[in-house]
Structures are given as structure tokens and as C-alpha cells.
A and B are shown apart, each in its own frame.
Chain A
Amino acid sequence: MRSQTNIFAFTIITFVMMMLFTPEKASSQSVRVLVPAGSFHSVLPEVEGEPIQVDSFFMDETAITNEQYAEFLRENPEWRRSNIPPIFTYDGYLKTWKSDLEPDYEEVGENRPVTRVSWYAANAYCSEQGGRLPTLNEWEYSAQLLGIEDEAEMNRFSSKLISWYSGIDANNLPEVGSTGIETTTGVKDQFGLVMEWVADFKPIIADEISLDCGTVGRMQTLNSVYSYAASIRYITRMSFNPKITTGMVGFRCAYDESDRSDQTKHEVTL
């Protein structure tokens, strides 16, 4: 009962917050990649025989960097560390930055992904770019377009992925674009860099999938090492609260395909 009201209240607050806090300006900085429509199987319960359909959309080629985020803060003072209202973040917001607008590049690196941003802040950033956070299904659909046909190779890749989830070195994140992991459509580093916020990181089903010792077993519906890794990723994300700011969670934005002409222009200008 408690959990359902939680979700209800959470949804309402989120909705109103997004209406109020949508930044007015838009600017473009990132390379955006078209992810064509398709379908995939998730590790969440689904209707048997009916894979999840995903419409085409654009997504940032790489995660948002510290430099890109600093640029956003220059334009949007209300999201700076000293101004952000506490209802939108925990204390750790950008805590490794030197000051409001200085990411302390020695520590965090110009081209490293920005982390320690709450879900609210990530949303605001993407709105500013004329986009939004990718949905859970969009992100996951894109991520699994790895083009690895060989099952043994996919298992090896997935085992490494699980080890990576147990050891993300938040103090020494690599630069964006450096993992060498790229989808067939050209989206980079969905694995191997940081975990990423998605719009609906805590789907309604999260409360039904009781998080306990048996959850991975129940979620691992695809019966593969990849789905085991995916379960860990889904569960970790579902355990978050939108105010959380951690050194291993960054984000990238998505854009509706209906704005395709605009998006293509962005890509060309870059």
C-alpha cells in the first residue's frame, strides 16, 4: 500500500516539477545518433511472444561531459550547486567540483562524463537541449544493439560487464567515447563508463518485483549471461531515488524523431 502511494505522489510531484522547471533556452552541443525503430526483449515481465516495440529516436552519441554540464550551468544558474533546491538533489550534487562553475578538471576531467547529478538535474539538462532523458526501453533497446552474433563471445562480453558493475571506479572514470564499446547504430559507451539515468528508471513494476535474494533469478527471463547483467543494471537503477547523486551515474539525452530535420541539422553543424 505504502509503495503504491509513493509512486503516485512521486509521479505527481515529478510531473509538476517538470512543468515548472523546464528551462526556456535551447542550445546544441552533442552529436546525436539516430536509433532506428525495432523491438527487443527486456528482463521485466512482458506479454509472452510480444517483444517491446521501440520507435525510432535520436540519442546522444556519448554521455554528457563535465564541460557540457558546466556550459549548461552557465546558462541556468538555478541548477548550480549553490542554488539547486534541496528537493531536487541530495547534498552530494557535483560535490567534487571546485566551485559552482568549475568542474576541477584535474579531478574530474573535461571530457569525462558528468556524474553526481540527480535525476531532476539530468532532466533539466536534457530539456534545455530540446530533448529529454531516454526512456528505460529506449536506452535498453539501444544498448543491446551490439551486433555480437556469436553466443560464446556475447557471454564473455556479458561476464566482463557484470565484473564492471561490481567495480566501477568512480574516482578514475575514463573519457567519453573511450571504452571502444559502440552499438551498430553508433551510440558509444552505454557500457563500461558509467550507469545512466533514464526517464522511468523506477517503473511501476519495480514495487512488484520485490528486491531480494531471488529477484535476479526471476528477472533473468532471457536465460543468458547478458540478461543476468541486465538484471543487475535494472535493479540498481530501480533502487535509486531521483535525488540521488552518485559518482557512477551520469546520463545522456534522447530526442524525438519528429524533430528529425532539426536534429539532422545539429549533426551537420557539428
Chain B
Amino acid sequence: MKSAITKFTLLTALLMFGMTSFLSAQTEEYKIDGMTFGMPEAKVYTEDYNGSPVVGEYITQAPNLAPLDYEGNKHHEVRLDIIVQEVEVASGVRYQAWTFGGSVPGPVIHVREGDRITFTMKNRSDEMVEINEPMSQMRVNGKRAMGPSDLSAISNDGDWTSTSPFMKQLRENNFQKNKAGIMPMPHSMDFHAGTVAKDDKWRTVGPGETITFDWVANYPGTYIYHCGTPSVLMHTAMGQHGVVVVSPKDGYTEDYEVDREYVIVQSEYYLTKGDGDLYQFDFDAAYNNDPSHVVFNGHQTILHDQPLKANAGERVRFHFSNNGPSGTSSFHVIGGIFDRVWLEGHPANEMRGMQTVLIGASGSATLDMIVPEEGKYILIDHEFVDAEKGATGTLKAGPRKK
């Protein structure tokens, strides 16, 4: 009988020898204009992790944006795992989405200009990851929740070391009606907010693998993140995109404070009826720029079913990102004018009095609007074909309070 142990030892030795050639020089960190460049090399490995697919204190479900309750800069530990979820994108339209963290779009990550992020992502596309229950990954008052009955007891006690506000919000407001699924594929993460070498940090990881890398949010603004594994058209259309909001360290303007902030992500779906009840990716539609649905925050009617709220006389700030994959957006609010607009969300790019803001695929804007009076305002992509495919939402304004 061949000795497996001998073979194993020999191979291990060989591997160790091989490993020495894997090591390569790490870029030294350096600064230009106060910005930080030169991140350590990404690590790809396997880990026994089956906890919450989204971990981080300042990570929320759109349209929510977590307030930054800290001064100066912070080092964030962020996890967004890739999981497959069957989701609803319009009434009666469900498909097996490839997601970051469980929803389309993925969670909203909020950081401040200059913050450092240690990002971890496990490709769990080959695992059934239930994000509604069991509740074992949720924390209740710092302790692990024991079951669905604990849902009402989940409190935001600030302990987000093993999960995130996003998970809590998704469980309480599961408007895409998630169901776990499996569809193993290689995936990657490309943060537009990061300035790094893509062949290192944005590396593709296969099912079961995990990648960890650092990046620094050098530029303020609202930035898309997406899977960069080709076909990118397919991967992003399948649902792999979200946004990072990088708030400027000195704010947008000293003239006023806003009353409310909302995150709106526009994106397209290219779906066609599959053999069963589910819809599936329609290559011809995607290739010919003919989306079946164009939506805000991942669902055709979500922003009407759950209108954004404000009151007359308030200043509302929209962090708007057009995540594409392929279309443009001409963002407008019916009955409103954007008082100030910062293109890409950079405070230096200020525009005033804009009726409609043209935003290309993977572009964004930060838009402030004064809510004129009590009533309904429709958020809309003024490219009417997109609006009629779903890219609309409602802002419902109450009476003036102050």
C-alpha cells in the first residue's frame, strides 16, 4: 500500500518551498496631497465562517444611511459575503440574484473621507445562506439571538462586531422577500471608492474562498461597488452592485444643515421568464441595452410602497447613484428643483438650481432639495422609457413643522 503520509509530507514540503516564491514585495504606504496610497497585498484564503453575511456598524439597507457618530477618522472592519438569494424585483417577478450581502442593490456602506477600510468577502455562492432565519447570527443586547421570536427584541445597542444594521433592517423590512439559493460562480469586488491595483485587490475568488484587503476612502462622494468578474455585464445585471457613501470630512456646505438624507440607487434588470416560475438573465436584452425593469433601490415599486418621508420646508439630501450596468439616468423630482448638486458627491463640484441631473453608468451625485409644500413628489428618471420600466419613487411631504 502506498503510504499516504509519506506522500503528504513530501507534498507539504514541496508546497512550503513553493510558498516562498509566492511572497512578493509589499508596496510601502505613502501620501500625496494628504491622501493615502500603497495598500498591503490582498489575501485570498479559506475560512470556517458561517456567520452574518454583512458585518459593520455603518452598513444599512437603502434608502437608509447610518449616521457617522464618531469624530475624525476611523478604521472600519467591513464584511460583505457573496450569497445567492431568490428576490422579488417587481410584483410577480422573482429571480435567483447574485448578491453582496443578500439584497439588490447590496448594502450601503457609510464612511468618512480619509477612513480606512479592511474589507473581507467570502464567496458563499455555493452555500444556502438563510438571512431571515435562523436568527443565530443576530445579536440581542450583545448576546446571540436564539430564534425568530427574538426579532422584536433586537436592539441597536451598538454591538455590531458580528452583524450589521443592514441585517436588522432587511429582516424587519424584507421587501424583496428573500429565499436562499445556490449558484456557485467565481466573483470579485471592485470598490470605485478605492484607489488600488485591481489585479491585486479586485481579484476573483472562487466559491468557498475569502479575500481580505485594505483601502482608504481618499475622495469624498458616492461610489458604486460591483463585481468585476467577467462577464461584468452578466455579473452586475445579476445583482452584484451597491454603493459606498464617503462623506466629506468638512461636510458639503456651511450654509445649512440637511434634515434628512436618503440613498437612492438606480439599476437595470434584464430578465425573461425561465422554464419554471422564476425569471432569468436575458442575454439578448442585456446585450441590446433593453432592460426589462429599471428600478430604484432594487424593486419596481418599493419607493411607492414605502415612500420617502419629509416635511414642507425641510432640506432633503439624496445620495443618488446610477449603478447601471449600462443605462444613463436623468434624475429629476417632479415638483422640485435641486437647490445644490455636487456631481459625484465631491464638495468641490457644486452646481445650483438644477432641474435634472444626467448621471452616467456608475456615476453619482449628491443632491439637496428644499421640499416646497405638503404633498407628493415623484422621483423619476426623466428618460421616460426608464420611468415607465419602473425608475420612479415617491417622496411624501407632511405639513411644515418649523
Contact = CB atoms under 8 A, between A and B. Distances in A.
B229 A13 contact: no
Interface string B133-156: 000000000000000000000000
A236 B282 CA distance: 19
A163 interface: yes
Contacts of B272: 163
A9 B24 CA distance: 14
Interface string B248-288: 00000000000000000000000010100000111110010
B173 interface: no
A265 interface: no
Contacts of A170: 126, 182-184
- Select the residue from A16, A163, A249 with max chain B CB neighbours within 10 A: A163
B233 interface: yes
B21 A5 contact: yes
Contacts of B18: 9-10, 12-13
Given A162-B234, A163-B282, A170-B126, A87 B15 contact: yes
A202 to B, nearest CB: 11
A6 to B, nearest CB: 6
Interface in A1-48: 1-3, 5-6, 8-10, 12-13, 16-17, 20-21
Given A1-B24, A247-B182, A213 B230 contact: yes
Interface of B: 2, 4, 7-8, 10-12, 14-15, 18-19, 21-22, 24, 46, 48, 96, 126, 181-186, 188, 198-199, 202, 204, 206-209, 228-234, 238, 272, 274, 280-284, 287
Given A2-B24, A210-B199, A92 B126 contact: yes
Given A5-B21, A16-B14, A165 B4 contact: no
Given A90-B208, A231-B230, A247 B184 contact: yes
A222 B220 CA distance: 42
B22 A241 contact: no
A169 B128 CA distance: 12
Nearest to B182: A170
Give the size category of A's interface with B.
Answer: 35 or more
B186 A167 contact: no
Given A16-B11, A225-B283, A165 B199 contact: no
A163 B186 contact: no
B183 A211 contact: no
B380 to A, nearest CB: 28
